[in-house]
A and B are shown apart, each in its own frame.
Chain A
């Protein structure tokens, strides 16, 4: 095999097996994929490590001692100190070396994988179907491997195979899983295809995600700040058949607690940043005689009220400060609120 093919195979396989797109790990594996060919002075690595290659080629057949599990274990032991810099680097190097010789299994003369045994491992058994170095078939294989390597790197840099698979299918359960893993680090947008559960109108729109509500549903808002429950459960306002998650921008989330002890809500809430601040918790509202919080069937109510005589309980789920001020701003309340403030880290907004 040509050194390019070895490199492409090592990069593609390492990226796929280790699930990494780290350029350092991949370049280490590409470099190490050249090391098995140190058994001939004609190879790239053989010319660089000339004394070693000259020693080896005088004693051993090509693709024998350095192309074996014996050499691989030796190599793995020798470079063990690399783990000091990072385990991924070590794995990348070992994987590069392995794929560097394993690829030769598909060539005409095979590889003595089990050196010192002279047996040469091959696949497939018919020599006519195996590759010869520099043949047009090998160039074709190289092309496919390069495509695989690019795909694999792209998939891994976009969050790995499973995530990309979820994205491609747009499966709601998969999307919620993606949200669960990404919500704390990215501002996410859900591209939703489905229907409105009340009006039965088709929906095809992007919403900003506020938080996952449970295994099946997401809490989202549109550009006007109207909140919806999206998913497959009965309470959803939008029944989603397809959900694709987009990372909009990296975010920093700060979480604080507000304790209220029969205090004016307005003072406390107005001091908070207004955009992308979400309040959750239960408040005891005093003197709640005239308090009415309208309920909506076509949207998700982030504030719900359990009325009572004189005292009422307001339950907040990711309510915006604006809503709280509008509906509860005139009241005194006691309770504990969790405040989630999301700051977008770049200049997109």
Chain B
């Protein structure tokens, strides 16, 4: 594989309007195919927003250790993985980045990126099991990083294979949206992405607005930011919704706390009036307490019998 160039390329291009953009590509083994991973403005500095996590992941991978990054949808995992990819590429490390697809497609992609043969001696395409073995064997003798985004979608077979790679000491970076607590997800040291700071989401919103040539007053941004909850994807989306003139009632972040039980608990304390009335032999207080007790019970029943929000959009 010595003559192969690094499979991921990053270019800084100056556009006609003076903006600078960074393009990140995956280049196939023979250089005939290239696929864009991202095109972002050079002014974007990932390290501003998730700097601590970025440095931690880089340090972990360079120390030959695997990591699992979890967080809600849109919290910036893919962005982070692209930044890591770019950084590792710039440091001339060899790596493979998975893309969504079937198990076979994913494995072929990895094999292509690493330059592992996907055909057997007879020129036949390897089976899934064959690819797994071939890649695993290759990784035993070569140093390369494996970066798997959207790992929560991986079927069991792929997860078992990753488990096996982990056991043989392969550094893997898994990024997943709330994965189930089992096998490979449980075994890897985990970083949970916290909601971003207000200043970071606001900067992202401003960037998104600038991109759309949209002028937002601080009051508008403060108002839109209510629906962001520290989620960079939503930060961009609310700006786009504003741009399209949608009233944007969608509240998709996960930073909610339903305080209904606490409100009921506070109301329940009023039931004490009944016992105070009983204790002081005060008939009116006792009756009043009884009325309060029933009212609280009714409020409780009503609040708990309200229709629940469903998991589906628009419901």
Given contacts A42-B219, A61-B225, A122-B259, whether A109 and B282 have CB atoms under 8 Å apart is no
Given A119-B255, A165-B287, A174-B283: A57 and B307 interface contact (C-beta under 8 Å): no
Interface string of B248-291 (1 = CB under 8 A from A): 01010001111110010000000000000000001111011000
Contact count A vs B, C-beta below 8 Å: 110
Q: Using an 8 Å CB-CB cutoff, how does the interface string of B208-221 with A read, 1 for contact, 0 for none? A: 00000000011101
The digit string for B278-315, where 1 denotes a CB below 8 A from any CB of A, is 00001111011000000000000001001111000000
Q: Does B160 contact A (CB under 8 A)?
A: no
B195 contacts partner chain A, Cβ-Cβ < 8 Å? yes
In the complex, what residues of B have CB within 8 A of residue A132's CB? 249
Q: How far is A56 from B223 in the complex, measured between Cα atoms in Å? A: 12
24 residue pairs bridging A and B, Cβ less than 8 Å apart: A41-B219, A54-B218, A56-B222, A61-B198, A61-B226, A61-B228, A62-B223, A63-B226, A105-B259, A109-B226, A118-B229, A118-B255, A122-B256, A122-B257, A122-B259, A123-B258, A123-B263, A124-B258, A126-B306, A129-B307, A162-B288, A173-B282, A174-B283, A177-B282
Q: How close is A108's CB to chain B, nearest CB, in angstroms?
A: 6
Q: Across the interface, which residues of B come within 8 angstroms of A296, CB to CB?
A: none
Chain A residue contacts of B308, Cβ below 8 A: 125-126
Residues of the B chain whose Cβ atoms lie less than 8 Å from the Cβ of A127? 249, 251, 309
Are B285's CB and A162's CB within 8 A? yes
Interface residue SS majority, chain B: helix
A123 and B249 form a contact (CB under 8 A)? no
Interface residue range, chain A: 35 or more
Q: Please, which residue of chain B has its CB at the minimum distance from the CB of A175?
A: B284
Residues from chain A with Cβ under 8 Å of B201 in the complex: 61
- Closest Cβ of chain B to A245, distance in Å, is 12
- Bound-complex Cα distance A169 to B282 (A): 14
CA distance A346 to B225 in the complex (A): 61
Query: Closest 6 interchain pairs by CB?
Result: A61-B225, A109-B226, A174-B284, A126-B309, A125-B258, A57-B222
- Tell me whether A173 and B283 are in contact in the complex, defined as CB-CB below 8 angstroms, given that A108-B249, A118-B255, A119-B255 are known contacts: yes
| Contact residues in A for B223 (Cβ distance below 8 Å) | 40, 42, 62
Considering only residues 48-102 of chain A, those with a C-beta below 8 Å from chain B are 54, 56-64
